[in-house]
Amino acid sequence: MSENDERKDAMTRRQFIRKGGYVAGGAIGGGILGASISQMFIPTAPEVSKTKNEVVQKADVERYNQALMFFNKQEDFKVLAQASERIFPADDLGPGAIDLDVPFYIDHQLAGAWGNNSRDYMLGPFYPGIETQGFQSHLKRNEIISQGITRIQSVSQENFKKKFTELNEQQQDDILAAFEKGKVKMKGVSSNDFFTLLRMSVLEGVYADPLYGGNRDMAGWKMKGFPGNQMSYLAQIESKDFLEIEPSSLHSHISSPKK
């Protein structure tokens, strides 16, 4: 097989996800970092002239939603961030989980009703469910993620004598793979269930509407060619050609308040 053919046959995890149309269009609708997260102010487009009715924006815009609501230890958040980036890494197709603000999306979800299982039946007895039922646990989602992050750190120390954030990509992958295969002991839940919950949260953060804190600048949608939240398709419905539609978020439908 030639080098050319090998290149064609190779498929990254990102390409696999990108080609799986069910992710953005179906269940969710509408993931490698260096040592730490330091970018708390994200540069945007340079300042341009505005009309008197428009607000002049700074060259550097403070993203006030980039603040922790659930995690109270920066180290735990960094572990979450790097684990998320390994699940959805940056590559030539586009940004990874961190640049898409997925860690902040997950943090905010864990602090809210979803993370606290506010709408779930949480009384026992709890028995291992069959495959179609999913896991059953007395633990809340934020407790599962918290325990999982703690176990990632301890497994990293046990196996490599280093923090998870100090490991190279392959070592991080090896640890996450152990969780995925259910080889790590956890209390009240299996490590596979934790990994499944984390992976699901990462993909939600990549493909959910930016309203929820992830999918920054709709880049997740743009990578898949997903149109996002369109008000109507009346202008395109009769077309027989394949159309590339610029994605639209819920924010796009806000009209300017009248004075």
Contacts of 119 (CB under 8 A, 6+ apart): 113
**Which one has a higher pLDDT value, 66 or 206?**
206
Contacts of 77 (CB under 8 A, 6+ apart): 37, 68, 71, 103, 107
Please report the pLDDT score of residue 163 as a whole number.
Answer: 97
Which residue from 186, 78, 190 is spatially nearest to 129, judged by alpha carbons? 190
Q: Quote the CA–CA distance of 240 and 67 in Å, as a whole number.
A: 46
Q: What is the mean pLDDT of residues 111-129?
A: 87
Q: Quote the CA–CA distance of 251 and 160 in Å, as a whole number.
A: 45
How do residues 170-224 score in pLDDT, each as one tens digit?
Answer: 999 999 999 999 999 999 999 999 999 999 999 999 999 999 999 999 999 999 8
Q: What is the mean pLDDT of residues 144-156?
A: 97
CA of residue 257 relative to chain centroid, distance = 32
Token pair recorded at residue 79: 């572990």
Q: Quote the CA–CA distance of 197 and 190 in Å, as a whole number.
A: 11
Percent residues over pLDDT 70 in the chain: 74
pTM above 0.75, yes or no: no
Cα angle, residue 228 at apex, residues 193 and 200 outer, rounded to 5°: 5
**Taking 80 as the threshold, does the pLDDT of residue 251 lie above it?**
yes
**Taking 90 as the threshold, does the pLDDT of residue 6 lie above it?**
no
CB-based burial, 231-254: b 16+ in 10 Å, e otherwise: eeeeeeeeeeeeeeeebbbeeeee
Q: Quote the CA–CA distance of 230 and 213 in Å, as a whole number.
A: 19
Which residue from 150, 159, 250, 160 is spatially nearest to 191, judged by alpha carbons? 150
How do residues 30-64 score in pLDDT, each as one tens digit?
Answer: 333 333 333 333 333 334 344 434 433 444 567 88
Token pair recorded at residue 143: 């407790």
